[in-house]
Amino acid sequence: MDNYEQNLKQRLPINSIKMIKNPDINKTNFKIEQANEVIKEANISTKDFKYIVLSAQKYEIQAQNSILKILEEPPKNIVFIIITNLKTALLPTVLSRLPVVYDKTKQNKTNIKQNIHRMDIQQIYSFLEKNRRATKEQAKEVITNSLFEIKSDLMYQTNSLLDIFEKSLKLLELNSRPINILTLFCLSLFMEKKSASI
């Protein structure tokens, strides 16, 4: 989503954009506080167009309901843009008030493939810190890439290793936080490596 935000900032006049999202970097949901900020910002009159950009992975129902009226009847010169990864993150009543645009342009994929099974604990910490905001898809990519990387390393071919991969992928499907699963995955691989080399 950061790519979409950057893209908008490049395409629109810099002084005409007001980006509204949860200020807590550990939270990706759009709350009632952000909805109130949207309403307040929209009611500040302007001669020129002002683009109010809402950005989140999840939008709380109460927050969405509170902005319905202003989305339906926006003040003069106000344009709303809502960014989300999933159309289902928005209520049908919100979707009905806005045109839906799918951005299918290929995003620059962050390659977070790292040979995790060869890392020491300090490298694991740095890797996790750098990727603390990894998405579910990126976490899956790390785990599956690691499986292929390890495949050629005989030292790691154990049943417990396959259990680590299987458990990590299942937990991601249960919507656990990706960084938590990556942490568990990396530390499990590290412990596996330690026990194999004893």
Instruction: State the Cα–Cα distance between residues 149 and 157, nearest whole angstrom.
Output: 12
Which DSSP symbol is given to 52?
E
2-95, superfamily in CATH?
A: P-loop containing nucleotide triphosphate hydrolases (3.40.50.300)
Residue that is written with structure tokens 């950005």 in the block: 55
Instruction: State the Cα–Cα distance between residues 135 and 114, nearest whole angstrom.
Output: 16
Q: Taking a C-beta distance cutoff of 8 angstroms, is the pair 75, 104 a contact?
A: no
CB burial string 152-178: b at 16+ within 10 A, e below: eeeebeeeebeebbeebbebbeeeebb
> For every one of its 198 residues, what pLDDT tens digit does the chain have, with 9 covering 90 and above?
567 777 777 777 778 889 998 888 667 789 999 999 999 999 998 888 888 999 998 999 999 999 999 998 989 888 898 988 888 889 999 988 887 776 655 444 444 456 787 888 999 999 999 888 888 888 888 887 777 666 555 444 556 777 788 888 888 888 788 999 999 999 988 888 777 664
Quote the Cα angle for 25-180-55, to 5°.
Answer: 30
Quote the Cα angle for 59-61-66, to 5°.
Answer: 100
Instruction: State the Cα–Cα distance between residues 178 and 136, nearest whole angstrom.
Output: 5
What torsion, rounded to 10 degrees, do the Cα atoms 30, 32, 33, 38 define? Answer: 80
Instruction: State the Cα–Cα distance between residues 129 and 179, nearest whole angstrom.
Output: 9
Alpha helices in the chain (DSSP H): 2-11, 32-42, 61-72, 92-95, 121-130, 136-151, 159-173, 178-197
Q: What is the pLDDT of residue 109?
A: 47
Which DSSP symbol is given to 12?
S
